[in-house]
Amino acid sequence: MSAKPMEDWLTCLERTFADPELCYPGGESSLTAANRAVSAIHNLLALGHSGYAAVTHGNLMALLLNRFEPGFGFDEWKRLSNPDVYRLRFLGGCFQSMERIWNGMNGAHRRI
């Protein structure tokens, strides 16, 4: 988000969800980061295999999930656990569904 630590980083992060083009010094806008993540997913899908695993940090994951489910924003980011796991399903390269498949250490599934 920024090249330097920010004392009010949570407020700054929330602003990046409200304004995807906001870019702090030395950082990357949410728009740019989300575009990079979506491109990586499409590159994986183009390989034609039946499944993939992609690993990232929570902020980038939230931005990626927001691209496929626009209601996934800052409040949903705050509710992510660490770690967290989501399954995205695609058919013919087109997004079909998203499911949270991690619910703490008990491994319970929760559909969102």
Judged by DSSP in three states, 89 sits in: strand
Tens-digit pLDDT profile for residues 28-67: 999 999 999 999 999 999 999 999 999 999 999 999 999 9
pLDDT above 90 covers a percentage of the chain that reads 79
**Structure-block tokens of residue 59:** 């902020």
Tens-digit pLDDT profile for residues 66-77: 999 999 999 999
Alpha helices in 5-103 (DSSP H): 9-18, 30-46, 58-68, 74-78
Centroid of chain to Cα 1:
14
DSSP state of 3: S
Does residue 110 surpass a pLDDT of 80?
no
* Residue reference for tokens 């989501």: 86
Centroid of chain to Cα 30:
10
Domain positions in the chain are 9-100
